[in-house]
Structure 1
Amino acid sequence: MISQSAQEEAKLDAMQRHWQLRRGGSSTIFKEVSETEDLLSLPLPRQATRENLAKKNTKAPATYTCSDLESDSEHWEFKEPKKAVEEPKQQQKNISQVLDASKLGDLPARYTICALEQHQFPVVGVYVDERVVPGFKYKVRPLPSPGKNPTTCKCLFDERALTLRSIGRGYARRFTFEADKNKLNDNENYFWSDNRPEGYAFELEVVSEGDKFTIFDINRKAQGTLEVLNIMGPQLEIGSSCVNSNLEKRALVKFAGKVEFFETGVAKPMPLSGTVVAKKCRGKATAEVAKILNVTIKRQRYYLVPGVQKVHRRCTVKGSDINDVPTKYTMTGLEHYEIPVVGTYVDPRIIPGFYYKVRPNDRKEHLFNGRALKLISIGMGYAKRLTFQPDSLVNPDNYLWSDSHPDGLGLEIRAVRKGMMFDVKAGDQLLGEATVFRADKPQREEKMEKVLTATGQYAIQKRIHIDVMCHFKLSRTGGASIENDEHLMRVCGHALVRKEPKSTEARIVKVENVGIDSQLNVLFAQTHTELIFTPKN
């Protein structure tokens, strides 16, 4: 039994050797048969095993590819066919496009115009793009002949974006836009769709320069304000929908905005982008911006709501910053030009001798009948007493405590007041005199510093921005003046207010960087002459 099994193993090994030789490239079938017979006729030792025969076979099996028809699958080397490398074809821009009005349910008219950009909507003849809707603002750009750049022509209406009021009917559609100021009965902002065979391109504008927004975080808490300074590129409409009979449009916009956070109070311009959501409600003539989504500021996501909502303005103060009781207060609704007073905290910019208007933070009306009074003193202790100039020395009642109002107080500094008189000078030349007629607009403190005097003591000097209305009377040669020389002008500038060391009242030194709402301002700017207002003694 042992010898029989050994012979069977020897035959099996011989057949395996024959198979390997055959794969090695045997020439003819006759040679293969003879080799097989020789192998089978060889005498085998009694104790021959399969392992011994394998050792005698010194020829290692070769590796083969799938090109050999009889090779084993375990030796296949799968090679992917090489794909033909196609050279990139130059994309040829469309030089024209064909518009079919019948697809819009209108007359079966076809027009060939130049290829438009992605943000432009075509209007030509009876063809009016469905995205052109009354109530939204558009820039209208006449199109050139087919094959030319669609932005070569300047927009109508002095490059302005106007609100579309109506679209007429008939073969020639009349497009009527909002009228200019004081020209409601003589509106010239219109045209017909067939005025130009090449057609028109409408460009949507939902955000304009000068728009103001309030910044909200993802928790719906107001964080600051934003003013649009410049629009950067076209505004691309990405979708529109009708919800509850209200039309809503969404557009991508890039702009430069002046961002001011409530915590810092510092305004900084920066480039921004977002998705504008504009809605035209049923019964209203114009569309309004609802919000701007996905606005990223300093790697944080915010959304913008139209308008500056002053009620959300926050101001956080700490008593430790002024070496007082370590308290902390957060005031909401304070104006940007108001100085905070709350609880134990009195802002160090509030100094006796200067004039202030006082407003409780929970109301719009000012105390003391809205008058600006001189601050006499600031008391000490937990609740500081602020004493203002009294109306009567016998019964002084113009005072309050810093903790009288839980929501705090806002103090507005007043440098220029109604009735003040100034001499107007250009260099050393006296031009005339100005009398303050109205001083209703806020005055904002921009800088405060200590100035060393000749006596070795320090004077307090403040720089305050003013915006007032003045009666301006020109002076003639020889001192003569007539009534026709008096004009009412708006005056803006910086008032320099100084409180001397031993003085109880701060006084105006001069008003510089003056700008007046008159053609005289252009004359002085061209001659590089600076106007200075000095108070009359």
Structure 2
Amino acid sequence: MLASPAMEMQAEETPLALQRLWNLTRARLAGTSTALGGEVALVETLPSAQELEVAPKPFPVPSDYESDGEEAFPDADVQEQPDIPCKSYWTGSGFEKEVLLDASTLGDVPAVYKVPQPAPHQMPVIGVYIDPRVRTGFRYKVRPMQAVDAPPLSVKPRYLFGGKALTLQSIGRGFARRLTFEPVGSKLNENDNYFWTDSRPEGFVFEIEAVSIGDKFTIYDANHEPQGILEVVQQQKNQIELDQKVHEDGSIDKKVKINTLCKVEWYENDGATKLMPVTGVAILKKGRGNAAVTRVINVAIGIKQLKKGYELKPGIQSSSRRITVNGGDIKDIPCQYCIVGLEKYELPAIGTYVDPRIIPGFHYRVRPAGSRRHLFEGRSLLLQSIGMGYGKRITFKPDTLNAPENYFWSDSHPEGIGMEPRAIQPGMKFTITGNGGLLGEASVFRADLPQVEEKTEYVEVPGKRGKAVEKYIHVDVTCHVKLATTGGGSADLEVHLMKVSGVAVVRKEPGQAEAKLMKVFNVGLDSQLNLLFAHSQTELTFHPLP
């Protein structure tokens, strides 16, 4: 029996229509459309096609946590990705300046948060999502995060905890996680430095701080030789975490980029201090305790005369301080020496070289370079003479005239010696004056701290041959102070123990063998009385008693 022409036409058209429908289905799955305007009516009249039973396997996408590239293509050569300075721990949103934080990518509760895009130095914390770079034992500054639909603010929200960077001690568990910081400014049993991750619906941002204001470092060159010291005085830019490594034993290493302004003192510049910008990468290591900076690498110092390739190590090691002297600079034998281990306030003497600021008639305390012990039992003695020649004899006032032993030669110690000028000794007594009136008396109780020479001046004396030598020495001593009663005159019976600082003027007249202390001016007291004198514009002066 022959089929009708209509049935033959339907048998020919049905496979073509189904084929078009399957093409449209594949196009929709692929995200594109190949349907023509004239075929829409034909597609709507046909029955729905059967969906694919097995979804196509998506192409592997590289991730920050794991990669399926080797499993999908076992025979392919997968190249290692280079280290990226700042990794992205979130995905982009359909809108600009917004990101999506998915806690499920961290193996946590599958909660997704839409927040403003954090800056490179910021780490978001909101709800159950805690940025994986936020770790206990490191110091962070915390700031509230703005809402997505919040209007732009001219002033950013203030930091928590008074803007201080505190060490994160613990991270709680659950949906609302308590973040506890070190108890700075509060009692140990009443620690107020904490909050919960859901305390603010907008969330928080953490900023790591590896180097703080006041930190001191020693500068080393490429040969690991100390070149100077520096102290951080200001943060120029926010510190950015570049890398983090978590080891099997639980220790953590972090690399943080820093940009600071520091007081830099180069050993070869005779202790001159300058403000310079310093940049580098700080290496932090955390073991069982809190994290600490082990060193700072790739350090660049300065702007115009940029110096690169240095390394910083925490702390100031006096045993590493190095200075270079040359006898030709003082019109002596042109020998150059390098002394390691002297303090900034100690004047060098080594071989044939004796610092020109070492002058007979003044008191000095002597210490060999690299040693903690002073010569002559740590006493400050009167320098009587400096000899001549290659090995200069340096003679101090003897304890007994019949057996003088307080002397040595400049080349007796191959490592060199340091001589600290001393202006004030324990037991010295002073009268305190201010605005022309007597304010009290003072007696020196302790003078252990170093006394630093600020300058030496040579003054013409009318009617005398030669010049007088004046030394200005900064002193920090502890005194017993008796204040005068109202109206001046007799001193009060109450004795106050105060720390006194000032500049002592020691003068040696021409032809005299010993210098004398003239006065101590620019005096500051470690007491509330200092505020009273400053408010009344009273300048205190200490005059030595005979």
1:529 positional shift: 2.7
Contact 2:260/2:277 (8 A) holds in 1:
yes
Structure 1 position 432 matched with structure 2 position 440: yes
Whole-angstrom CA distance in 2 between matches of 1:346 and 1:110 = 73
SS of the residue corresponding to residue 479 of structure 1 reads coil
The residue type equivalent to 2:258 in the other structure is V
Structure 1 position 299 matched with structure 2 position 301: no
Q: Could you tell me which of 269, 275, 278 is aligned with 1:269? A: 275
Q: Could you tell me which of 97, 100, 106 is aligned with 2:99? A: 97
Change (3 A) 1:147 1:421: farther
Q: Could you tell me which of 186, 195, 211 is aligned with 2:190? A: 186
Counterpart in 1 of 2:245? 241
CA deviation digits over 1:275-320, x for unaligned, max 9? 222111x222333342242324423312212111222221212222
Contact 2:456/2:472 (8 A) holds in 1:
yes
Whole-angstrom CA distance in 1 between matches of 2:95 and 2:459 = 69
Q: Could you tell me which of 172, 175, 183 is aligned with 2:176? A: 172
Q: Could you tell me which of 486, 493, 496 is aligned with 1:487? A: 496
Whole-angstrom CA distance in 2 between matches of 1:532 and 1:147 = 64
CA deviation digits over 1:67-111, x for unaligned, max 9? xxxxxxxxxxxxxxxxxxxxxxxxx98454332222211122233
Counterpart in 1 of 2:11? none
Structure 1: which 5+ runs fail to align? 1-91
Q: Could you tell me which of 442, 456, 471 is aligned with 1:448? A: 456
Within 5 A, what are the aligned runs for 1:396-435?
396-435=404-443
Counterpart in 2 of 1:53? none
Q: Give TM-score, length-normalised by structure 1.
A: 0.79
1:183 positional shift: 2.5
Whole-angstrom CA distance in 1 between matches of 2:142 and 2:470 = 54
Change (3 A) 1:157 1:398: same
Counterpart in 2 of 1:110? 112
Counterpart in 1 of 2:231? 227
Counterpart in 1 of 2:338? 330
Whole-angstrom CA distance in 1 between matches of 2:127 and 2:437 = 65
Single out whichever of 348-357 and 515-524 deviates more from structure 2. 515-524
Q: Could you tell me which of 198, 203, 210 is aligned with 1:206? A: 210
SS of the residue corresponding to residue 528 of structure 1 reads coil
Structure 2: which 5+ runs fail to align? 1-93
Whole-angstrom CA distance in 2 between matches of 1:500 and 1:380 = 23
Counterpart in 2 of 1:152? 156
Please tell me the root mean square deviation across aligned C-alpha atoms, in Å.
2.0
Counterpart in 2 of 1:504? 513
Whole-angstrom CA distance in 1 between matches of 2:374 and 2:247 = 44
The residue type equivalent to 2:218 in the other structure is T
Counterpart in 2 of 1:321? 329
The residue type equivalent to 1:408 in the other structure is G
Whole-angstrom CA distance in 2 between matches of 1:421 and 1:174 = 59
Contact 2:328/2:334 (8 A) holds in 1:
yes
Contact 2:228/2:266 (8 A) holds in 1:
yes
Contact 1:467/1:492 (8 A) holds in 2:
yes
Contact 2:518/2:544 (8 A) holds in 1:
yes
1:466 positional shift: 1.1
Q: Give TM-score, length-normalised by structure 2.
A: 0.77
SS of the residue corresponding to residue 441 of structure 2 reads strand
CA deviation digits over 1:319-352, x for unaligned, max 9? 2222222222111111111111111111111111
SS of the residue corresponding to residue 453 of structure 2 reads strand
1:133 positional shift: 0.6
Whole-angstrom CA distance in 1 between matches of 2:290 and 2:285 = 11
Whole-angstrom CA distance in 2 between matches of 1:111 and 1:424 = 69
CA deviation digits over 1:411-440, x for unaligned, max 9? 011111111122222221222122222111
Whole-angstrom CA distance in 2 between matches of 1:409 and 1:520 = 41
Counterpart in 2 of 1:311? 319
Looking at CA atoms only, which structure, 1 or 2, has the larger radius of gyration?
Answer: 1
Counterpart in 1 of 2:84? none
1:234 positional shift: 0.9
For these two proteins, the number of residue pairs brought into alignment is 444
The residue type equivalent to 1:512 in the other structure is F
SS of the residue corresponding to residue 533 of structure 2 reads helix
Contact 1:279/1:290 (8 A) holds in 2:
no
SS of the residue corresponding to residue 118 of structure 1 reads coil
The residue type equivalent to 1:352 in the other structure is P
Change (3 A) 1:313 1:500: same
Counterpart in 1 of 2:359? 351
SS of the residue corresponding to residue 386 of structure 1 reads strand
SS of the residue corresponding to residue 501 of structure 1 reads coil
The residue type equivalent to 2:263 in the other structure is K
Whole-angstrom CA distance in 2 between matches of 1:182 and 1:344 = 58
Whole-angstrom CA distance in 1 between matches of 2:508 and 2:95 = 71
Whole-angstrom CA distance in 2 between matches of 1:512 and 1:177 = 46
